[in-house]
């Protein structure tokens, strides 16, 4: 029997509901976040960064879209046996910050923040346990002008990111309006009200018939799964359906918001009233809004898809006041960054300069001359060109394959012949790839030496920059 111990190899696997984000998306996200921040800054919001952990009792029951206090969060006990949770959103940490610094911050307090949030919920297609949000909030005023501003901010942000007018709509409703309709329908039991609100929230996806089924006994979907309904009487359901059919009672706050945005030049093609907007069920106390993408789209299988909501928010006057003895009104708007990134990618609205070119690769033709190749690489970098010297141990063929896999626009080659002649060879990999599909004869390939040329070593930087400029042209 061998005395060697058997080693156990660890399996490389992601935790459920998590994803790795690679270079191209990271650069595109950086561009997106910068664009969003520019809009928020123009509105006068100030940046703030809060920690990823909060004491669990600071979250309280104010967790969006759940009627199960403190469920849905990742929690642990620290060394003092205090329960700590990963932040569920960026609003609860803001509420804690404002309460802790109430006398020092100006009121209204206006801040923006981007960052990852974490939800201990069942993952699914497009639904992750870690995702990024970008929030703007105004704390310390009940003026409807602050709510109207959130609607305008949402519209301006989407357009700044390249989503054309007519391809989105900011929809506004009010939780007080919905509550008054529920009161008029005599829906008093809290759990039943919750089921009704969830049914209303599905209007965009299910339509009037589907919502009516959920207000009654329930609904069976195409897969055969049955969702129990609110079990309202026909008379009760009729009052809810009247709201969804456009027979909404007047709401003073919605009227004020609509008047303000119209006076500011935002028409109903950009911001409009929609009674089906519900948002977080225990979270919002007044006006609520959703930024919806309305353009038609298809997936990789040619099936119609709808991006729908990429952001939302509203008034949450009860959150900050949990920490204080006085009411502290607040309103905000949050963008779901990953979902919006997917939509922008589908529309082709991620500019090439945001993604960036892969680096020019200087091949290591002679290891004894590594210093010379590093000097070439440095010259390119100092001219503003993204460049790297190959630092592996492989030969030229493998180095070329490496550059191809990196997506490099070109490689710089200086073997012994080029060195003696004081030249470098530059190979345009993008053009070479294109031509390789057009040239079938090996002799023609050798004779043409497609997309490859030599220049004096002193002209290398200028030649590379000219080549990159040609590649950027459409």
Alpha-carbon torsion angle 402, 403, 407, 409, nearest 10: 180
Helix axes 190-201, 175-184, angle to 10 degrees: 120
User: What tokens appear for 474 in the block?
Assistant: 């459409």
> What top-level class would CATH report for the domain 359-472?
alpha beta
What global pTM score does this model have? 0.85
Could you tell me which residues come within 8 angstroms of residue 416 by beta carbon, excluding any fewer than 6 positions away?
Answer: 365, 366
Give 440's pLDDT tier (boundaries 50, 70, 90).
low
Question: Tell me, what DSSP letter sits at residue 88?
Answer: S
Q: Which of 212-216, 233-237, 265-269 has the highest mean pLDDT?
A: 265-269
Check if CATH label 3.30.930.10 holds for domain 23-352: yes
Q: How far apart are CA 329 and CA 320, in angstroms?
A: 8
Q: Quote the radius of gyration of the chain (alpha carbons, Å).
A: 29
Could you tell me which residues come within 8 angstroms of residue 376 by beta carbon, excluding any fewer than 6 positions away?
Answer: 362, 389, 412, 414, 424, 457, 460
Q: What is the pLDDT of residue 439?
A: 46
Per-residue pLDDT tens over the stretch 120-147: 888 877 789 999 999 999 999 999 999 9
Per-residue pLDDT tens over the stretch 339-381: 899 889 888 888 877 677 899 999 999 999 999 999 999 999 9
Q: Where are the domains of the chain?
A: 23-352, 359-472
Higher pLDDT, 260 or 433: 260
């Amino acid at each position: 029997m061998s005395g060697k111990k058997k080693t156990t190899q660890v399996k490389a696997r992601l935790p459920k509901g998590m994803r790795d984000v690679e270079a191209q998306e990271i650069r595109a996200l950086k561009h997106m976040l910068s664009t969003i921040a520019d809009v928020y800054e123009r509105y006068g919001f100030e940046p703030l960064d809060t920690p990823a952990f909060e004491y669990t009792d600071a979250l309280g029951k104010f967790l969006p879209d759940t009627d199960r206090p403190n469920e849905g969060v990742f929690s642990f006990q620290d060394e003092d046996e205090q329960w700590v949770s990963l932040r569920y959103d960026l609003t609860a940490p803001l509420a804690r910050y404002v309460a802790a610094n109430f006398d020092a911050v100006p009121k209204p307090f206006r801040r923006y923040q981007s960052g990852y949030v974490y939800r201990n919920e069942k993952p699914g297609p497009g639904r992750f346990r870690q995702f990024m949000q970008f929030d703007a909030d105004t704390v310390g005023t009940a003026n409807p002008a602050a709510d109207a501003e959130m609607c305008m901010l949402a519209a301006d942000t989407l357009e700044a990111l390249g989503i054309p007018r007519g391809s989105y709509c900011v929809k506004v409703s009010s939780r007080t309006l919905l509550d008054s309709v529920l009161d008029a329908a005599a829906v008093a039991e809290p759990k039943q009200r919750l089921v009704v609100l969830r049914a209303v929230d599905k209007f965009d996806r299910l339509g009037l018939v589907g919502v009516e089924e959920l207000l009654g006994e329930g609904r069976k979907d195409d897969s055969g799964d049955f969702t129990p309904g609110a079990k309202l009487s026909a008379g009760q359901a009729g009052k809810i359906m009247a709201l969804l059919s456009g027979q909404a009672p007047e709401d003073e706050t919605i009227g004020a918001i609509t008047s303000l945005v119209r006076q500011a030049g935002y028409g109903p093609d950009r911001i409009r009233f929609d009674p089906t907007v519900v948002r977080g069920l225990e979270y919002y106390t007044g006006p609520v809004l959703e930024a919806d993408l309305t353009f038609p789209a298809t997936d990789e299988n040619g099936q119609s898809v709808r991006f729908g909501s990429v952001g939302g928010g509203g008034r949450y006057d009860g959150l900050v006041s949990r920490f204080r003895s006085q009411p502290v009104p607040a309103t905000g708007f949050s963008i779901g960054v990953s979902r919006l990134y997917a939509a922008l990618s589908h529309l082709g609205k991620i500019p090439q300069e945001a993604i960036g070119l892969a680096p020019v690769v200087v091949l290591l033709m002679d290891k004894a001359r590594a210093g010379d190749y590093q000097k070439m690489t440095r010259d390119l970098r100092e001219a503003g060109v993204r460049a790297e010297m190959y630092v592996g141990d492989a030969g030229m063929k493998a180095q070329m394959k490496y550059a191809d896999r990196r997506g490099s626009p070109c490689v710089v080659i200086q073997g012994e012949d080029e060195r003696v002649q004081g030249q470098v060879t530059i190979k345009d990999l993008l053009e070479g790839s294109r031509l390789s599909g057009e040239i079938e004869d090996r002799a023609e390939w050798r004779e043409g030496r497609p997309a490859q040329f030599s220049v004096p070593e002193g002209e290398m930087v200028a030649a590379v920059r000219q080549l990159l400029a040609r590649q950027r042209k459409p």
